[in-house]
Amino acid sequence: MKENLLDSIRSTVFKQSDSLDGICTTIEGYDFNKGVDYHEVLKSMVSTGFQASNLGDAIQLVNEMLDWRLSDENLTEECSEEESDPTYRKSVKCKVFLGFTSNLISSGVRDIIRYLVQHRMVDVVVTTAGGVEEDLVKCLAPTYKGEFSLPGAALRAKGLNRIGNLLVPNDNYCKFEDWIIPIFDQMFDEQTSMNTLWTPSKVISRLGKEINDESSYLYWAHKNDIPVFCPGLTDGSLGDMLYFHSFKKEPGLVIDIVQDIRAMNGEAVHAGLRKTGMVILGGGLPKHHICNANMMRNGADYAIFINTAQEFDGSDSGARPDEAVSWGKIRGSAKTVKVHCDATIAFPLLVAETFAAKAKRSVDDTS
Amino acid sequence: MSDEEHHFESKADAGASKTFPQQAGTIRKNGYIVIKGRPCKVVEVSTSKTGKHGHAKCHFVAIDIFNGKKLEDIVPSSHNCDVPHVNRTDYQLIDISEDGFVSLLTDNGNTKDDLRLPTDENLLTQIKDGFAEGKDLVVSVMSAMGEEQICALKDIGPK
């Protein structure tokens, strides 16, 4: 009797399992006995588990997105003669939408983004107002490293504004005001004399032109004709400047968001035979704006989200890519990854193994 | 002769002293300020300290002293604003003409006939009725930036 009981317990605890060999990756971390090889460390993330694996998967997916060519797809009946030409098809790449929240521009990730825009590695950029002004302000005066724990009242008394563990002196914004108001004056004159109808993306392009500083991603976006969309342009220091300027030159600049939504959705709709990919850092407006535009073409083909938001509260920021699939913002056939990580850690590592690695390779190849 | 010369000079203003500059941060409620070229009386001032919006700013809400319109302006507090010279002078009312002009007695016995009746209905009725009744009336004339208007009325006759 005891024998039967023991056998039954044994068979419960040591339940026969299916074999995963050859089906799933085995978990193995990096072996530092091989030395400190950063590329290999990053490669090992895929098999390290948890968010390291998600980052590893994101790296693989971004590389797949960047490697895709129209020539990888079969010819369809509707293809014109030009579209069927193999050389042409080999030249058609995925259209990349890059979105990020403004805190990332306050951080050093701004310089990573500048690199991408400088080298035309992305096609469309979407951000919030701070994502525009913080880049411009940094050209006029720097942001400093502080601490999360610095007391607010003491900082206010010293004229220091805290963004997480970063500090931006009030003086920086005074410099920004002194720089931007004359530009708004010129833009207002163009509005009245030349009937220029400003939109957020046109305003941003003009500011990128005026800042004329190679450390600014907006400068490169203007130079490379990469549109930067920001429907919430007034929600930041830029909005404050527009507010004050409207008293100076009544009734102020007119900025049309309808023309911009035509342009933004048009970027997705008229992508044509190109596949589209979304690389989105953080949540909020940039995340949804890009996903929504891609809904207009029945969904993006690649989606890489890097953010720390969770889905339990039903927020769009925390929503996983699969939720977007239910809306048609991402295709059912698409490949997606969400990396639950602060983008200041994940994004530089991702770019190192994808965009930058490919650029280096192509330079090495041609040299 | 010299009296008249003096008189002539002060009337000719030459536009030099219609306004004077004053730092925005020092202009208070019930003071005067020029907004969009109009002389106004300040009814509200609020200051926002230096911050994300740039330099410290003063937000003025003011009423045009001649047409009662509400005007607003926001100025950096360190900037200079124009403040109008506002003068009030009392004149005795001599006559009202058919085309709406008044005839006033000045200090030195001359008449001033270039002023219209005020547009404010209350004041207008008071003047017309008071004059028709033969009362002795003194009007206060407010002048600023080349514009003049009757702003108040006093009955100085015997009770």
Residues of A marked active site are found at 329
Confidence of residue B2 (pLDDT cuts 50, 70, 90): very low
The reported pLDDT for the residue numbered A1 is: 67
Beta strands per DSSP E along chain A? 95-100, 124-127, 144-145, 160-163, 166-169, 228-229, 276-281, 300-307, 330-340
Place of tokens 């059912």: A332
Q: Which of A159, A178, A247 sits opposite B74 (nearest CB)?
A: A247
The verdict on B36 touching A (C-beta cutoff 8 Å) is yes
CA atoms within 13 A on the CB side of A35: 2
State both tokens at A143.
């942001």
Q: Residue B59 and residue A155: Cα distance in Å, rounded? A: 25
Average pLDDT over residues A78-105: 93
**pLDDT value at A193 more than 70:** yes
How far does A60 lie from chain B, in Å, by closest CA? Answer: 40
Residues of chain B contacting A250 with CB distance shorter than 8 Å: 36
Do residues B95 and B102 lie in contact, with contact meaning Cβ atoms separated by under 8 Å? Answer: yes
What pTM did the predictor assign? 0.87
Q: Which of A161, A237, A247 sits opposite B73 (nearest CB)?
A: A247
State the first-to-last Cα distance of chain B, in angstroms, to the nearest integer: 40
Residues of chain A contacting B51 with CB distance shorter than 8 Å: 161, 170, 173
Q: Which of A237, A247, A250 sits opposite B53 (nearest CB)?
A: A237
The reported pLDDT for the residue numbered A360 is: 83
**pLDDT value at B5 more than 90:** no
State both tokens at A255.
């900025």
Contact flag A240-B55 (C-beta cutoff 8 Å):
no
pLDDT digits 0-9 by tens, B49-76: 888 888 999 999 999 999 999 999 999 9
Phi, psi for B125 (deg, rounded to 5): -60, -45
Average pLDDT over residues A133-145: 98
How far does A182 lie from chain B, in Å, by closest CA? Answer: 14
Provide the 3-class DSSP secondary structure of residue B82. strand
Confidence of residue A17 (pLDDT cuts 50, 70, 90): confident
How far does A171 lie from chain B, in Å, by closest CA? Answer: 7
Which residue of chain B has the CA closest to A137? Answer: B52
